[in-house]
Chains A and B, each alone.
Chain A
Amino acid sequence: MDAIPAPVAAPRPAPPGAERRLFPRSPARESARPLVREPLRAPETLHPSLWLGHQLGRIGSDAVATGFARLDAELPGGGWPRRALAELLLPHAGVGEIRLLAPALVAAQRADRLVMFFDPPAALAAAALAGLGFDVEELLIVQTRARVVPGSDSLWALEQALKSGHVGAIVAWLPPRLRADRLRRLQLAAHQHDGPAFVVREAAVAGRPTASPLRLGLQAGGADRLQVRVLKRRGPPLEAPLSLELPTVLSAAARRRSGSASERAAALHAATFVNFA
């Protein structure tokens, strides 16, 4: 409307003799300056995002237990991070990744929160998921790669879900050869996501830098075992891979057979099951 702008007060010129310093030093500080400071005993107690090189980093919010005690011991905060991406590098689908994530995801569902899967690489079997403890009808599966330009929608959809902050846990199978800045953007969006967020990528990116604070390389380590290499974490590097015992698929007898499979002595042979039909 017809508001007249108020006259802006002109900055008063400083008197010629005044000190031309923006923040005049307080006399107390001046006197403290020459003193030699004692070195801090435990600097990591000052702030949660400080840690010493040999320690595991601590994360601000509590982590989500993975369900595997040996893995919990090696992860900063003792579990999957909240409000950050956890990157999983897989050589191919089906090394045991769902069984690794299942305890955390099922816990999210039990807490009455939504679990979303983005672009799973194959069809999911409802009965097998229910066997792992999932409530399959409460699992939302988003397919984003149907459109002409692949990748454009998947990142958008994932970012929306992370930013909404209402989803309990997210597992996303990212398109291959993702640019680093895209992942950084997702990591920024994940700050608003209260829960674990996993992104599954191809194993070939292991040598490239990543924006996510946690990166694990997964590999099958024999029947019902999973080899986890911690490629990046807030803490010292972990040289030896962890071998985790997954929930079993095989019966005890079959597992024994698997252990001796290298000798191929006890392995079942197809000829055992000749068709007499």
Chain B
Amino acid sequence: MLWVALHFPLLSLESFSATLLAADASAASAEPAIALVDEHRISAANAAAQAQGVKPGLKRATALALAPRLTLGQADPARDAEAMLPLAHAALAFTPQVSLQPACEPGAAADTVLLEVQASLRYFGGIDRLLQRLLRAIAPLGHTVRIATAATAQGAAVLARVVPPPRCLNLASTRQALAAAPVWLLGPGREHWEALQGMGLRQVGDLLGLPRAGLARRFGETLLAEIDAAFGRRPDPREAIVPPRLFESRLELFARADSTEQVLHGASILLARLVAWLAAQHAFVRRFRLLMHHETRWQGDRTPQATSLEIALAEPSRDSDHLLVLLRERLAQVQLPAPTLEIALQAEDIVKRAAPNSELFPTRQSENEGLTRLIERLQARLGADRVQRLAGVEDHRPERASRGQRADASGRPARASPRGGGGARVTDTRVATASSSAATVSRASHPVWLNPVAEPLAERRSRPLLDGRPLSLLSGPERIEAGWWDAELAERDYFIAEAADGALVWIYRARLPLSAAAESGWFLHGRFG
């Protein structure tokens, strides 16, 4: 058995500073002074606050007198627990045997994750490589971490609090390191810290030589039980955590976010949690939802309680950068009806599959993936309907013969033609054009550019004018008569004409001028591009 303990000494401070808006955090060039308050006393302070003299245990008023610009937050075990969960999820990608070490103080949230990695060593290529990858996996969550390894779970949890945390790979070295650890690192040892110190017992090793019965009588059974578990003399079963089936993580913002850019900072933290949850299940997300809960501004306020932003991906992904880009583009278009107090991220639509291979050189598959991402990004910003593919429609009226249809970002061949045999037809034309293109690329007498609305042309002596200069008709007429069935009757004689500058244009004259008063005379319908 080889246990890895991840201890997060600044968890509650960091989980609080995540709720600060990005604007607040970056306003001062230096790190802002932050401290947490629990029952009117400072419970934790960051380095910037400690530099100004704020120490844990001070009264709130004293701390504010020392550092007037101090940002004070309320200590919140529930928030810490919420921040702890994704760290455990990130660890689940390395071994299924992950558990949380309960906190020493009652009421506080756990701040240590334990992993049993003996079975994973061979796969990840040794403990050093594994720890490297583990650190990289939890880095996006942005917490300070101390790592210890030991042969027992309890031992690893204790040793992770030692500065610097030792790496012990077998039971003998674990016991040796534990014996040198200060006694107050043991949970019950902290309660009896002063008594133990008064008796001259500073290190765990000092306790080992004492009679057990006496120790149990003075300090309780739990101290002995913990020492035995840490030294591997007593079974220490741990219950592995299981990631929830649905992902939901929320973040209560410290200040109200008035704009979507401010929401984005919090959302990026939630996305990192989502990615950790996905990594734990070896899954990829296909669709997720960002909820922004709004402040109710007055009684009977009609603004909605929450704005929901649904983001669907063409290709399931767990790349936090890509997800964040999509989220940013979508958020930029959203107008918040009211300031946001709390954001939440939910995901349930996931795909489980093997991770894609990473490739050294660009290949066909990586190009497809890159294109999918490009199209997704364009669609997120411009709107899904703004990225189109052309599709031919079998209609003789030129304005109806092609239609732009929304491009689906997944993969390139969008052969989803509305007609049944569409795929076959396309390949046929491709073969036909391929064979005939060598000789004459086209005898296509229809233009590439079409005016969406035919432009009426002036006429002089029965000759059409374009920009005040006469057109000379070169070829025609080509009669197109269609649409009697859908009230868009077109009866036109098309001509190819040469404009004064030599460009070819496509003009028509309505064949039956009497049929509609508006449709008489010459019209410019297209240009040969």
Contact = CB atoms under 8 A, between A and B. Distances in A.
Contacts of A270: 462-464, 473, 509
Interface stretch (B54-62, B64-72, B263-271, B406-414): B406-414
A153 interface: yes
Nearest to B503: A220
Q: Which of B437, B449, B452 has the most CB of A within 10 A?
A: B449
Interface residues of B, number: 83
Contacts of A122: 449-452, 526-527
A128 B381 contact: no
Nearest to B429: A130
Interface string B190-208: 0000000000000000000
Contacts of A144: 382, 386
Most buried by B among A110, A140, A157, A271: A140
Given A1-B164, A128-B446, A131-B446, A164 B374 contact: yes
A10 interface: no
Nearest to B452: A123
B529 A98 contact: yes
A132 B415 CA distance: 20
B392 A130 contact: yes
Interface in A218-277: 219-225, 247-251, 254-255, 257-258, 261, 264, 267-271, 273, 275, 277
A160 B462 CA distance: 50
B372 to A, nearest CB: 9
A224 B527 contact: no
Contacts of A139: 389-390
A102 interface: yes
Nearest to B427: A135
A165 B366 CA distance: 11
A123 B450 CA distance: 5
B446 A223 contact: no
Given A94-B449, A127-B444, A166 B371 contact: yes
Most B CB atoms within 10 A — which of A131, A254, A268? A131
B461 to A, nearest CB: 9
Interface in B391-418: 391-393, 398-399, 401-404, 407, 412-415, 417
A127 B506 CA distance: 15
A137 B402 contact: no
B383 interface: yes
Contacts of B473: 267-270
A91 interface: yes
B163 A249 contact: no
Contacts of A164: 370-371, 373-374
Contact of A127 (B386, B401, B414): B401
A69 interface: no
B424 interface: no
B437 A133 contact: yes
Nearest to A113: B367
B529 A140 contact: no
B171 interface: no
Interface string A117-143: 000111111111111110111111111
Contacts of B447: 94, 125, 128, 249
Interface string B476-498: 11000000000000000101101
Contacts of B498: 222-223, 258, 261
Contacts of B526: 94, 122, 125
Contacts of A248: 440, 442-443
Contacts of A202: none
B529 A94 contact: yes
A167 interface: yes
Interface band, chain A: 35 or more
Interface string B495-508: 11011011111000
Contact of A219 (B414, B450, B475, B501): B501
A22 interface: no
B505 A125 contact: no
Given A127-B392, A138-B413, A268 B378 contact: no
Given A1-B164, A138-B413, A220-B502, A129 B448 contact: yes
A1 B364 CA distance: 44
Nearest to B388: A141
A246 B403 CA distance: 27
Nearest to B147: A1
A255 B502 CA distance: 12
A127 B144 CA distance: 62
B167 interface: no
B441 A102 contact: yes
A84 interface: no
Contact of B474 (A127, A146, A267): A267
A96 B503 contact: yes
A257 B472 CA distance: 9
Contacts of A157: 378, 381-382
A141 B398 contact: no
Given A140-B407, A153-B381, A225-B502, A124 B449 contact: yes
Contact of A98 (B371, B448, B476): B448
A124 B414 CA distance: 18
Interface string B352-385: 0000000000101001001101110110011100
B496 A166 contact: no
A147 B385 CA distance: 13
B426 interface: yes
Given A142-B382, A167-B374, A91 B474 contact: no
Interface string B231-253: 00000000000000000000000
A92 B501 CA distance: 11
B146 interface: yes
Contacts of B504: 94, 96, 220, 223-224, 249-250
Contacts of A269: 463, 473
Contact of A135 (B426, B444, B462): B426
A223 B412 CA distance: 37
Contacts of A126: 390-393, 401-403
B404 to A, nearest CB: 6
Contacts of B362: 165
A264 B529 contact: no
Contact of B402 (A103, A121, A123, A133): A123
A144 B387 CA distance: 9
A254 B451 CA distance: 24
A132 B502 contact: no
A264 B512 CA distance: 28
Given A254-B475, A258-B474, A96 B496 contact: no
A186 interface: no
A161 interface: yes
8 contacts: A125-B401, A126-B403, A132-B441, A132-B444, A143-B387, A165-B362, A220-B503, A248-B443
Interface of A: 1-2, 91-99, 102-103, 106, 110, 112-114, 120-133, 135-144, 146-147, 153, 156-157, 160-161, 164-167, 219-225, 247-251, 254-255, 257-258, 261, 264, 267-271, 273, 275, 277
The 7 closest A-B pairs by CB, nearest first: A94-B527, A131-B444, A126-B402, A98-B529, A220-B503, A131-B442, A220-B502
Given A96-B504, A249-B496, 20 more contacts: A98-B529, A121-B449, A123-B399, A125-B447, A126-B403, A127-B402, A131-B444, A136-B402, A137-B426, A141-B390, A157-B382, A160-B378, A164-B370, A164-B371, A223-B504, A224-B504, A247-B441, A254-B474, A254-B496, A261-B472
